Structure 1
Amino acid sequence: MPGPDEGARRAAALPARAGVRTDIQFLRALAVMAVVLNHLFPNRLTGGYLGVDIFFVISGFLITAHLLGELEREGRISLARFWARRARRLLPASLTVLAVCAAATVAWLPQTRWPQVMSEVLASALYFENWQLARSAQDYFTSAQTASPVTHFWSLSVEEQFYLVWPLLVLGTWWLALRRGGASGALRPRGLTPRRTVGTGLAILGVASLAFAVWSVEAHPDAAYFITPGRVWEFAAGGVLAALAAAQGAVRPRWVAIPGWLLMVGSICLFGDDSGVPGLSTLLPVAGCALVIWAGTGSAGRPAPRALRGPVWLGDISYSVYLWHWPLIVFAPIALQRPMTPGLGLAILLVTLLTAQLSTRFVEDPLRRARWLTARPAAMTLSGAAISMAAVAGVAIYIPTTVEDDLQAVQAEMEELVADGGPCVGAAATASGCPDSHELAVAGSSLLTIVNSPYTPTWGTTCQVEPEDPDPSPCEFGVPKQEAVQRLALVGDSHAGQWASTLDTIARERGWNVEMQVKSSCLPTTGDVHASWGTEPMIASCRAWSHQVRTALADDPDIDVIVMSGIARDYASADPDGVVEQLRELWAGWVEAGKQVVVMADPPYLGRGPVPECLAEASTRPDPCAALAAVVRTPDPLVVAAAGQDGVTVVDLTDVVCDHRRCHAVVGGMPVYGDQNHLLQYFARTMAPLVAKRLATVPGLDQPQGR
């Protein structure tokens, strides 16, 4: 019997709710605050993203425990009823947030962002956002640079996929266990119960998933963070815990939770963006979460002291906190037109908690508990969920169509502008002293990007090999080979590809055929030069592609001139001088094979992020988004390597973009860049006369050599 103090302690405790474990609410509170603080102050709580991993373990435990309990009580699982409960619990708040994000995107983000954000809203509404992010290989830890307000829905997509498949998995394993052991469920001779058989099956699945995660973190580090197979083992850890839990009422030693909390808090404080999540290192926070849950087994309904009211409350609203915090982080600085500061971060935190409380009180709870839904067949809930998801998806599909209409109008104006030309259009304005050169001539021209307005030559195609594809895939433009008076090759990474429209304009005038050999994130060299952001598979692929391309071009007797460019500033080698030296060695081999080499210097990038977005936000000001030339005009290794090289000609048009003070985002009334650093193809076409003038100095060009 409790002593006198025990009665007072219980009187001061929070009321217990049937089936609610306060230790799990504490875990939820830790997990969501870790994520929120990591997003608000990423340099302070570097491992806060592990809160998602903790949530996955909790979900695996609770859902598996629920399913096994239903199987033991009723001998079956009502899948429709299970999915209806999940829909009532999750969809009202998530679809509300998505609808608000769609409206806020139209209100505050430039049109250049609408298609990308709406594609993510669509993926989030249909719960495949994690796969969309994996496909684009977006780095989670730099996702704030693109400021998508729904990036965080990747984890909710993983959870929904878990809810869809897990009941089938548990039910199937249970059924197989009963088949092996007879109607009674007794499995002989090993004495395994169906519950333990489910636990064994989940353990095997978890080990396989962990092995996949370890492999994918090494092979595809950006995509590995998002893809579902590499996350299954975290759910399985919770599921095994639920399957092997002791009978109801058995209480574990409470001290077991202490090392669990230490493992989680330590990981959250010490992990960084290079910790290999969700690989082997993630075992630490997952094991910590499992220890805390194990220590609390049998304690459901145990009241928490009043002093811990805050964590329990935060655990109660953790789902809404997670949903609302990231859109507020993305939109608040834009709506307030001020940068993110610690003060603004704290304000966002308070608004997040208030919004989450209101969302839980007026959106989540009413629909989750509504008698008009719970008392009716599950089909009604599921039908309503499908209609609601379709409505949000429809909005996400419609909004980009309005952008497409505007884009087509802008493209028509830009085509007319480029065709008419003139001394103040595009690159020509550099030498003309045009007073309004740095003001946009076409309203809305910031919509034009390298992605949604690709340049297609009059004849032929432009092509680019993907980062992990080791095989060359050349294409041609200019004039057909049989009509050409001379053949050239355009070689390099995507920054070589940005010159395709320029060369095509010249080639069609002069009767050239141009073979394009371009690979994303790869420069042809004679050694181990690679993009600084390259993964091991990308580097190996680049090495193989480079060898084939440099040999093929050297051996092709019909190619007279090789034009090369790339973002060489961002390439690295084990030897500090390796980039320059290997470029010289490469060109010397081509020159020895009878080729002339033309090096196109890479225009500096402005460090403003996506330049079209900057222009869209500041298009009413003259010379928006310019950068100080002294800061951004850094040496180009291509130009450095070409100095003094026989048979190598440099075409450096940096002065078209930069004067002695600034490098500009708008020249001759046109945007210079189509994204962070690639030339906008309309502007590149206006550079053709300047490039043609420089190419006239290349020995042998325009004078076909004997074949």
Structure 2
Amino acid sequence: MPALVTRAASSVARPSELAPAAGRPAGHTGFLPEVHLLRALAIVLVVAYHAGVLRGGFVGVDVFFVVSGYLMTAQLVARAGDGRVGLAAFYARRAARLLPAALAVVVATALVGSFLLPVTQRAGLTDDARASTLFAENWLLAARQTDYLADGLAASPFQHFWSLAVEEQFYLIWPVVIAVCLAAGRRRGTRSVRVGVLVVLVVSFAVCLVWGRTGSPAIYEATPTRAWELAAGGLVAVLPCQTNCSTWERLRRGLVWSGLSVVALVAVMFDGSGGYPDARALLLIAGACAVTLAARPNSTTAPARLAVRQPVRWLGDASYSLYLWHWPTLVLLAGAGGAGSGVGRRALAVALAVGIAAVSRRWIEIPALAYGRARRPASVGVVTCAALIMTLAVAGLPREVSDHDLASQREASVALLAAAPARLGAASITDSGWRTYSEGSAIAPVPADARSDVPARAATCKAPASSSKTPRCVFGDPDATTTVALVGDSHMEQYVPAFEVLARQHRWRVTTYLHSSCPFSLAERTSDRDRGGPCLRANAATLAEVGSDPSIDVVVTSGRSAVPWVEDGSAPDPVRGLVDVWRELAKKAPVVAIRDNPLSMPGDATQACVADHLRDPDHCDRTLAAALPYDPQTAAAALVPGLHLLDLTDAFCANGTCPAVVGNVLVNRDEQHLTATYARTLAPRIGPTIEDVLADGR
């Protein structure tokens, strides 16, 4: 999360070394204790959020943005007395201030993560490390549609670099904006800068509000939606100076207390629901701006006195290093984000991060800053380029280690499938239960390949959710006298590999009608209504097409039913929607409904867990109560005479447990769907039911 905690070049001085000032002129760059306290508060909030202690602590990033925007603008204006900003010197100072510690984190995390993280995460770790090195992590997360406020499991240890990326991208543009404003209004001083900053603030905030309406999670880490927070701090830096009259002094003290209180209150009350940032962030930004506006060198307010005492002073000084190190330490030591691990491990991770941050500040940050001051911009630039190249090279290590491990796992998986295909997966289940490993200790597919272990026709024979037409595809024996129709969404599609086996064994022709996110029902999902109802239109057309095909001997259907449905009376409820479809189909051919399968852990968590516990994947099992969703298909089946309900739960769960691996086969490729490998092993369990139904129909 955030945090560039940049300080003005002179802000490393002790308060006693700075001359007192009656008021703070625009562009002041001295040590401001209230701002220092605000920075210390921000890092505490962020660490508490990542450690799973404070749900609203993520707003500490917003506070960092305000502080960074303020300090950067103050530096630029203070150094532009002659109308020149000095871009080369500015960028050299920024590189010396920010890059050494950041690159040290990238290198250390890439090295440690190459061996501690599951193989499923290592290849992605290289992408994150390189994006972080180039300060582009926010756009990588946006491209992945990462929901920063929801993700935790299998989170990248580089994920927090998104805020550094936002700030660095802002730093590339902001000095130019200030320079242009100063050049355009030489006679007006900082007035032209105020106008320019205000324009950036308003435009960015408007982009934030408009983008927020799309519901895209990328709004959280996108630079255009965050620039207004940095600009807000910049605006405070160029406001006219205030007098030292008693009225302003009382108002100043009130601003400090009220601003700090607002920041703390928002952190306690916010939970990130409903999309963020949005208009709610205005209150937080106003609070942070109030503190920076009221800050004064050598201030005697109670917050100012607190800011120069330990450990608050150290927290403010080391906030950048602590921000850099705390998140990878939590991910690598305490598990994804720390929230899923014990309190003890989270506390240990935070304590370790504090220690590493102290070392980093003493031996990396401070020496690098001194080096940057003593060298010309060109020299700093050469060293910076060399450091970036070396870091990018090290960032490739996780992928190399991952590729080596994956090659070994894939070789073992191929050998396993070739040696004992009839004894794997569901075929290994007996009356006494299931075994994790029935043949050696290899797993098929390897966890890193689970996502790609899909039915062979997945890309060509399934309509997208937005389509109002469901495609018809055919496979199997073209001369067959028996035709089986498979109708439904991706939860029906996942059984296609089993029907490919059955079609070869029994010389069937199989016709598919598959539609993503579209259960075969006349009830309406809320997501489909939001899209304008393409699923309902497609289902009506499919019902007519299947019902008019005399060659179909049996219809097999299944779907994901544990989803939000429209239940305002304008459409049938979930059970009635299924009943209406099945009764209509039953007039033409027998119908078999397959009960929905149990769910694994959210996202790719199960695959990551298995990759991390190859010797004992039982760590990744779920209880039956947690895994088996409510399925209206079971209730609907009782209302349709002659319908056959095929319940395969005993092929996934036994004795109240749903294992992640059965008979050397990984069951799920994601939270909802089976791997194609496991689906093939279900053919002996599905075939007899279909044969019995066909026999009764004849």
User: Normalising by structure 2, what TM-score?
Assistant: 0.83
Query: CA separation in 1, counterparts of 2:380 and 2:697?
Result: 72
Contact 2:426 2:682 in 1 (8 A): yes
Q: How much does 1:550 deviate?
A: 0.6
1:33 aligns with 44
2:59 aligns with 50
Q: How much does 1:160 deviate?
A: 1.4
Residue 568 of structure 1 aligns to a residue in which SS?
coil
Residue 693 of structure 1 aligns to a residue in which SS?
helix
2:144 aligns with 136
Q: Are residues 1:19 and 2:14 paired?
A: no
Which of 680, 683, 686 is equivalent to 1:685? Answer: 680
Residue 442 of structure 2 aligns to a residue in which SS?
coil
Q: CA 1:473–1:117 in 2, change beyond 3 Å: closer, same or farther?
A: farther
1:601 aligns with 595
Task: Give 1:264's aligned amino acid.
Answer: V
Q: CA 1:434–1:451 in 2, change beyond 3 Å: closer, same or farther?
A: closer
Q: Are residues 1:278 and 2:272 paired?
A: no
Which of 537, 540, 554 is equivalent to 1:548? Answer: 537
Q: How much does 1:551 deviate?
A: 2.6
Alignment coverage as a number of residue pairs: 660
| CA displacement 1:570-610 (0-9 Å, x = unmatched) | 44554699332333234445556x46544332221244872
Task: Give 2:399's aligned amino acid.
Answer: P
Contact 1:440 1:666 in 2 (8 A): no
Which of 62, 75, 100 is equivalent to 2:71? Answer: 62
Query: CA separation in 1, counterparts of 2:404 and 2:355?
Result: 39
Q: How much does 1:448 deviate?
A: 3.0
Query: CA separation in 2, counterparts of 1:386 and 1:474?
Result: 53
Q: Are residues 1:151 and 2:149 paired?
A: no
Q: CA 1:650–1:79 in 2, change beyond 3 Å: closer, same or farther?
A: farther
1:305 aligns with 305
Q: Are residues 1:107 and 2:115 paired?
A: yes
| CA displacement 1:356-384 (0-9 Å, x = unmatched) | 111111011111211xx544442433343
Contact 2:523 2:576 in 1 (8 A): no
Contact 2:575 2:633 in 1 (8 A): yes
1:567 aligns with 560
Task: Give 2:287's aligned amino acid.
Answer: G
Q: Are residues 1:389 and 2:410 paired?
A: no
Query: CA separation in 2, counterparts of 1:472 and 1:164?
Result: 48
Contact 1:529 1:578 in 2 (8 A): no
Q: How much does 1:632 deviate?
A: 3.7
| CA displacement 1:59-85 (0-9 Å, x = unmatched) | 1112222223333x2323333322222
Q: CA 1:624–1:391 in 2, change beyond 3 Å: closer, same or farther?
A: same
Q: Are residues 1:165 and 2:173 paired?
A: yes
Q: CA 1:404–1:156 in 2, change beyond 3 Å: closer, same or farther?
A: same
2:329 aligns with 328
Q: CA 1:613–1:167 in 2, change beyond 3 Å: closer, same or farther?
A: same
Task: Give 1:605's aligned amino acid.
Answer: L
Query: CA separation in 1, counterparts of 2:157 and 2:629?
Result: 34
Query: CA separation in 1, counterparts of 2:609 and 2:597?
Result: 18
Q: Are residues 1:351 and 2:352 paired?
A: yes
Q: CA 1:34–1:623 in 2, change beyond 3 Å: closer, same or farther?
A: closer
Contact 2:113 2:398 in 1 (8 A): no
Residue 36 of structure 1 aligns to a residue in which SS?
helix
Task: Give 2:636's aligned amino acid.
Answer: A
| CA displacement 1:302-356 (0-9 Å, x = unmatched) | 9953784122221110011111111222222359x99733444443333322221
Q: How much does 1:490 deviate?
A: 4.3
Query: CA separation in 1, counterparts of 2:276 and 2:341?
Result: 27
Task: Give 2:596's aligned amino acid.
Answer: D
Query: CA separation in 1, counterparts of 2:149 and 2:696?
Result: 48
Q: CA 1:488–1:382 in 2, change beyond 3 Å: closer, same or farther?
A: farther
1:696 aligns with 691
Q: CA 1:480–1:87 in 2, change beyond 3 Å: closer, same or farther?
A: farther
Contact 1:528 1:543 in 2 (8 A): no
Query: CA separation in 1, counterparts of 2:100 and 2:31?
Result: 22
User: Normalising by structure 1, what TM-score?
Assistant: 0.82
Query: CA separation in 2, counterparts of 1:215 and 1:598?
Result: 47
1:519 aligns with 516
Q: How much does 1:555 deviate?
A: 3.6
Query: CA separation in 1, counterparts of 2:391 and 2:299?
Result: 37
Query: CA separation in 2, counterparts of 1:147 and 1:214?
Result: 27
Q: How much does 1:23 deviate?
A: 1.6
1:620 aligns with 615
Q: CA 1:358–1:89 in 2, change beyond 3 Å: closer, same or farther?
A: same
Matches within 5 A, 1:28-427: 28-42=39-53, 45-71=54-80, 73-175=81-183, 177-178=184-185, 185-186=186-187, 193=188, 195-220=190-215, 222-246=217-241, 253-255=251-253, 256-274=255-273, 276-296=275-295, 304-305=304-305, 308-310=308-310, 311-333=312-334, 340-370=341-371, 373-419=372-418, 421-427=420-426
RMSD: 3.7
Query: CA separation in 2, counterparts of 1:389 and 1:700?
Result: 70
Task: Give 2:172's aligned amino acid.
Answer: L
Query: CA separation in 1, counterparts of 2:696 and 2:100?
Result: 66
Query: CA separation in 2, counterparts of 1:128 and 1:385?
Result: 17
Q: CA 1:238–1:267 in 2, change beyond 3 Å: closer, same or farther?
A: same
Residue 178 of structure 2 aligns to a residue in which SS?
helix
Contact 2:148 2:217 in 1 (8 A): yes
Q: CA 1:673–1:264 in 2, change beyond 3 Å: closer, same or farther?
A: same
Query: CA separation in 2, counterparts of 1:440 and 1:208?
Result: 62
Contact 2:259 2:290 in 1 (8 A): yes
Q: Are residues 1:503 and 2:503 paired?
A: no
Query: CA separation in 2, counterparts of 1:381 and 1:516?
Result: 63
1:492 aligns with 489
Contact 1:501 1:684 in 2 (8 A): yes
Task: Give 2:305's aligned amino acid.
Answer: P
Contact 2:50 2:339 in 1 (8 A): no
Q: How much does 1:27 deviate?
A: 0.9
Contact 2:260 2:291 in 1 (8 A): yes
2:21 aligns with none
Q: How much does 1:97 deviate?
A: 1.2
Q: Are residues 1:664 and 2:653 paired?
A: no
Contact 2:595 2:634 in 1 (8 A): yes
Q: How much does 1:109 deviate?
A: 1.9
Contact 2:157 2:332 in 1 (8 A): yes
Query: CA separation in 2, counterparts of 1:474 and 1:397?
Result: 42
Contact 1:695 1:701 in 2 (8 A): no
Q: CA 1:329–1:348 in 2, change beyond 3 Å: closer, same or farther?
A: same
Query: CA separation in 1, counterparts of 2:468 and 2:455?
Result: 23
Q: CA 1:418–1:211 in 2, change beyond 3 Å: closer, same or farther?
A: same
